[in-house]
Structure 1
């Protein structure tokens, strides 16, 4: 997650924070690690969350300082602010399948803010307006399964990474479909390459830099089943071995948001620091991050 502060006399500074796992499953306290200040901040919640936000809760990532969650007990989606402890109830999902991720187009208090959910195991994307007194999930882009989504605040466009190996662009104002670009390969988040019984994975992430309105496709090369010495280990199911994975490298392509074309970036990210994850990825100018220089 990231927060931003600005004044009329000082340039805009950005402080990305990492949310650490809670000490226990039932704990409502939050621990955040400030990358710029290199310290852990503990936030203790005196009051528990609302009843509809309690139970078997799955966290779907953080966007614009808000944590998106899904309650498996009552199929309730909601937003929570780990700093203030505030909770915002979103419409109950019509589909029993939990969403893969939820992102916000702006602050949830804004009247034109959209919450966008994407499903992985069932087709479709849906949107709602958290700032409206009455709102429902409105289906859109329901022809395909989606791995990741990103949003451009300047152009009000939604970018979708599909399981079929392409990136789509949608205009949310209409809404209407604008373009589709096939990727340079057909691997997706679940693909494996079994060469000589060695497992390679290639998860992909859409990364938006909102300062320059640039969109990137990041491909992570992962080796599965790695031992303590970093070498590949065969998985022995009968013994119940659960080996970790190892990231080997990253490949980055920039996507032209107007033309829908890809360009491979070689050797430089133009001073950007990219944060990638399964739920929400983003990029920040490294020079504007407190405690960091150009990367």
Structure 2
């Protein structure tokens, strides 16, 4: 009898230890925030983190994904210019562009008491399509041998009055200039970083892909032969949708930091009438019309087969795309109901210097191919003038 009691106590203890381990695991993981302009919305005054920060910190608010509450972050006076525009978020850091002189700055608003500001070299253009960081910057006082932060940029350079070209650049915080990468990719490319391979992956609009190893004294370029994309079997209605000339496709490259899988995400957007029908843009200028997300397609890179294979289910994974460095999280790392597994959380990725309405924010469910709004209709977040940015909280350096 005594042995049976001991076995029962041991089994209960193991179950309790497992439950506590899971509980503290998701307690340590903070769900992503949305960074949003504060000038058009009001923070929740009863929130313990709400504080009126001095300009320009008060120009931006954060929104918790768990409860949709808005809050300001208590921090010291920022040295960012008042009209600095937030371009991108990566590893809990924000990249700002000063529109007056095109200077680039990195900052982390969650580091107290004064958010650090790191200057990047002068790139010479305000048309920066994407910034990707290999890691958070290293603290100036750090003595550890952690991975050095590398920043890759896709920027549009104007060679002549009518000729613009997208180019790849990279630098490290503290460098005096950017280095141009001699990429063989064509137009409309994007980039992602794999912490598992420690490589930058670049892809163009034709699904051609190359990798860059930027850790050594000279950039090392490696081509990957991806001669085909295996498209899923589609019903006639879907085929007709894709042939619609009003569609605009957006491409994202995202790497699962746990598995190392490289995913290609296609986003289909179109201008819609109030009844949901697609607006015919044959004789209209699309630059003044708001685009709405209709669906996503996901493909996984198979290096062995040289193909992009369709992904029908992400299981517990959640993809975040928008005006940020796209990333993947596991729904199991958070309390139940905070994020929806097998889904894509998206925000508008129209750059801030464009004049379109930027309220295309929602959740795409890969199980039933539906799009749901992230916020209820009465939420103050709706109809904001600037695109929200996904932000992964990180209260420290690398």
TM-score, normalization by structure 2: 0.60
Structure 1 residue runs of 4+, over 6 Å off?
none
Question: Deviation digits for residues 228-279 of structure 1, max 9, x if unmatched?
Answer: 11112345759x994432322111001136775321112x112111111144
The gaps in structure 2 that reach 5 residues or longer are: 1-20, 41-54, 139-145, 157-163, 231-240, 343-398
C-alpha deviation, 1:139, in angstroms: 1.8
- 1:124 deviates by 2.3
Query: Deviation of residue 27 (structure 1)?
Result: 4.5
- 1:41 is matched with which residue? 71
Shift of the alpha carbon at 1:146? 4.9
Which SS does the other structure have where 2:153 is aligned? strand
- Of structures 1 and 2, the one with the larger relative CO (CA 8 A, separation 6+) is 2
Matched, 1:138 2:179: yes
The 5 Å alignment of 1:77-116 reads 77-84=104-111, 85-93=115-123, 95-96=124-125, 98-109=127-138, 112-116=148-152
1:84-233 equivalence runs, <5 A: 84=111, 85-93=115-123, 95-96=124-125, 98-109=127-138, 112-120=148-156, 121-130=164-173, 132=174, 134-144=175-185, 145-174=187-216, 175-180=219-224, 181-182=226-227, 184=229, 195=244, 198-224=245-271, 226-233=272-279
User: Residue by residue, what CA displacement relative to the aligned partner does 1:76-104 show, whole Å, maximum 9, x if unpaired?
Assistant: 111121223321111111x4353212121
What CA distance in whole angstroms lies between the structure 2 residues aligned with 1:18 and 1:183? 36
> Contact (CA 8 Å) 1:100, 1:279: kept in 2 or not?
no
SS of corresponding position for 2:165: coil
Give the secondary-structure state (helix, strand or coil) at the position aligned to 2:332: helix
> Structure 2: how far apart are the matches of 1:259 and 1:171?
22
Quote the Cα distance in structure 1 between the aligned partners of 2:92 and 2:35: 11
Structure with more of its chain in strand, by fraction: 1
Instruction: Say which is worse superposed, 243-252 or 200-209, in terms of deviation.
Output: 243-252
Richer in helix (by share): 2
Distance 2:340 2:243 in 1: 40
Distance, in Å, in 1 between the alignment partners of 2:295 and 2:91 is 28
2:310 & 2:266 partners in 1: Cα distance? 11
Change (3 A) 1:36 1:259: farther
How far the C-alpha of 1:154 sits from its partner, in A, is 1.8
SS of residue in 2 equivalent to 1:43: coil
Query: Is 1:73 equivalent to 2:100 in the alignment?
Result: yes
Contact 2:262–2:300 (CA under 8 A) maintained in structure 1: yes
Alignment gaps of 5+ in structure 1: 1-6, 186-191
Task: Sort the Cα spacing of 1:194 and 1:213 in 2 relative to 1 into closer, same or farther, 3 A.
Answer: closer
The CA RMSD measured in Å over matched residues stands at 3.2
Q: Which residue of 2 aligns with 1:188?
A: none
Question: What is the count of residue pairs matched by the alignment?
Answer: 270
Cα distance 1:79–1:249, how it changes in 2: closer, same or farther (>3 A)? same
Deviation string 1:88-138 (CA, Å, 9 cap, x unpaired) is 111111x435321212111211661111111245342222121x4x54312
Could you say what secondary structure the match of 1:199 adopts? coil
The separation in 1 between residues aligned to 2:334 and 2:309, in whole angstroms, is 26
SS of 2:128's equivalent?
coil
Q: If you compute each CA radius of gyration, which structure gives the higher value, 1 or 2? A: 2
* Pick aligned residue for 1:246 from 292, 296, 299: 292
Judged with a 3 Å threshold, the aligned counterparts in structure 2 of structure 1 residues 207 and 22 are, in CA distance, closer, same or farther, namely same
SS in 2 for 1:119: strand
Counterpart position of 2:35: 19
Q: 1:45 to 1:260 in 2, by over 3 A?
A: farther
Instruction: Note if contact 2:199-2:213 (Cα within 8 Å) is conserved in structure 1.
Output: yes
Q: Corresponding residue for 1:262?
A: 308
Report the CA distance shift for 1:38/1:157 in structure 2 as closer, same or farther (over 3 A). same
TM-score normalized by the length of structure 1: 0.78
Q: Equivalent residue of 2:72, what SS?
A: strand
Task: Write the distance in 2 (CA, Å) between the matches of 1:265 and 1:208.
Answer: 14
Partner deviation per Cα, 1:42-91 (whole Å, 9 max, x = no partner)? 226552x43xx426533221000111122232121111212233211111
